[in-house]
Structure 1
Amino acid sequence: MGIIGLVVAILGAIMSVVPGAAIIGWILLPIGFILGLVGLFMSGKPKGTAIAAVIVSIVGTILAMAFFVTVVGDAFDDAFNEDVTVSRADGEGASDAESADVGTPDAGSAIGSRENPAAIGDAVSGDQWEVVVNGFTRNATDQVMAANQFNDPPPVGSQYALVNLTATYIGEGSSLVDFIGVAFVTDSGNVIRSFDHAAVTPDPLEGELYSGASATGNVDLAIPEGAAGLLRLELGTFGGEVFVAVE
């Protein structure tokens, strides 16, 4: 019984870390563990193989759990972190290194990362959207306040800025441009999002687009006066992020 349990446990431990066959390992490991326990309680029989079966089953289960967590983590990253590519405004396409997923920590100085941001006019593309920052008006408080008489002034020490974008939907079906996230990240690391201080925006970026359609409009941000920083674009609900220099 101990020998059978040990063989089953070894097979389970091996199969549990084989992609596509892990479920078989999850079935075999508890069987090997149970057979090992049965062997331990059989009187008059050697206990060595039964003990080994129990130990291998436990170790195999730990390995199987670690493998499962790794696979789930990779799947989660693939689902929620899409690759972003940056095409220069001068017509030069990004290299493979430059088109890495700039939202990941190991992207280094890829174009579009915080260390090496894209520029105004560059085309930033994800799985669903292609976005171009056409311009950035740092002090647009007068324009925003004139857009609607009920707009509140920006917080003390801040001013309204306007980001003009052209967004082209390249995914399937249709989607709302509202899913594109726009934020200002100061050099000190503070993040100011477009919805942190809402106002009626002049010529806003809005609407639903089908594949191939484009829209151009403004997004307002209440940024600190005189603060240096970068724009951060998030391309869709689960899209990758990319940084754009505005100065």
Structure 2
Amino acid sequence: MKRIIALGIALVVATTLTGCGAVSAVSSPDHTASDAPNVVYPDGYGPDATTEPADPEPTDPESADPEPSTPEAGSLENPFPAGYTATISQNDEDYYTVTFTLVAADGDKKIAAANQFNDRPPHGYHYVIVKATFTGLSSEAVDPGVEMFDWQVADQDGNLYQSASVVTDEESLSGSPSLYKGQKFTGVEVYTVPDSTTTLYMSALGSYLAL
């Protein structure tokens, strides 16, 4: 298998201060009950309260908004940078590395000049030319032309596009030799993408590399 981290309430108590600063209770035959200060108690408090006020609902720390996290490296939101060398492993052993270079974001003229029998891209599409350099890392043979079936061009929305069958004026990956440990091969691959494409990536095994 191939694979590429406390709520509080304040109560106001009315007191009368004597001239010497002591707190005393003052009564007078000239004062009636109607002269007593009008103390307003919050709901659930005071001399006439019959039930205990409800405690505030506890706050669940897990319900708070989580801190934003950085998208995983190699994802569409955080792709590996242009020129990044990807290492592909197979059966828990390093199999090969590959580095991609964008040759032409709009390669229509280059493809037309390479061979008069090359078809024009469909209406609303254009050719993209990508160069790939493979390096073998295993004692088992690596065929870049076969491995390129795993790789596709992706756009800014993650849509994937297959390679196109055209002739180029540079060596194609389809004619690559088998590579063993330490051996390298560089070739080009051509893709057809919509004219609305604004960003290009190479994608394989769920990872994205910027072009």
TM-score of the two chains, using structure 2 as the length reference:
0.58
Q: Which has the larger radius of gyration?
A: 2
**Secondary structure of the residue that 1:174 maps to in structure 2?**
coil
Shift of 1:152: 0.7
Q: How does 1:97-246 map to 2 (within 5 A)?
A: 97=5, 109-127=71-89, 128-178=95-145, 179-180=147-148, 181-194=150-163, 197-203=164-170, 204-205=172-173, 206-207=175-176, 208-234=178-204, 240-246=205-211
CA contact (8 A) 1:117 1:244 kept: yes
CA contact (8 A) 1:123 1:130 kept: yes
**Secondary structure of the residue that 1:115 maps to in structure 2?**
coil
The whole-number CA distance in structure 1 between the counterparts of 2:2 and 2:180 is 22
Aligned-pair identity (%)? 26
Query: How many residues are paired up?
Result: 137
The whole-number CA distance in structure 2 between the counterparts of 1:133 and 1:163 is 7
Residues 190 and 168 of structure 1, relative CA distance in 2, 3 Å threshold: same
Shift of 1:130: 0.4
CA contact (8 A) 1:230 1:243 kept: no
The runs of 4+ residues in structure 1 deviating greater than 6 Å are: none
Shift of 1:245: 1.8
The whole-number CA distance in structure 2 between the counterparts of 1:184 and 1:135 is 11
The whole-number CA distance in structure 1 between the counterparts of 2:206 and 2:103 is 18
CA contact (8 A) 2:72 2:78 kept: yes
Alpha-carbon displacement from aligned partner over 1:184-204 (angstroms, at most 9, x marks no partner): 22233432111xx32113312
**Secondary structure of the residue that 1:221 maps to in structure 2?**
strand
The whole-number CA distance in structure 2 between the counterparts of 1:81 and 1:131 is 14
Higher relative contact order (CA 8 A, sep 6+): 2
CA contact (8 A) 2:76 2:158 kept: no
**Secondary structure of the residue that 1:142 maps to in structure 2?**
helix
The whole-number CA distance in structure 2 between the counterparts of 1:158 and 1:170 is 37
**Secondary structure of the residue that 1:146 maps to in structure 2?**
helix
Residues 109 and 186 of structure 1, relative CA distance in 2, 3 Å threshold: same
The whole-number CA distance in structure 1 between the counterparts of 2:158 and 2:182 is 35
Shift of 1:226: 3.5
CA contact (8 A) 1:184 1:229 kept: no
Alpha-carbon displacement from aligned partner over 1:200-241 (angstroms, at most 9, x marks no partner): 13312241212211111211011111312332333xxxxx34
Structure with greater helix percent: 1
The whole-number CA distance in structure 2 between the counterparts of 1:81 and 1:217 is 22
**Secondary structure of the residue that 2:111 maps to in structure 1?**
helix
Shift of 1:136: 4.2
Amino acid at match of 1:117: P
The whole-number CA distance in structure 1 between the counterparts of 2:180 and 2:2 is 22
Alpha-carbon displacement from aligned partner over 1:126-149 (angstroms, at most 9, x marks no partner): 111201113342111111122222
Structure 1 unpaired stretches of 5+:
1-79, 85-96, 98-107, 235-239
Structure 2 unpaired stretches of 5+:
6-69, 90-94
**Secondary structure of the residue that 1:229 maps to in structure 2?**
coil
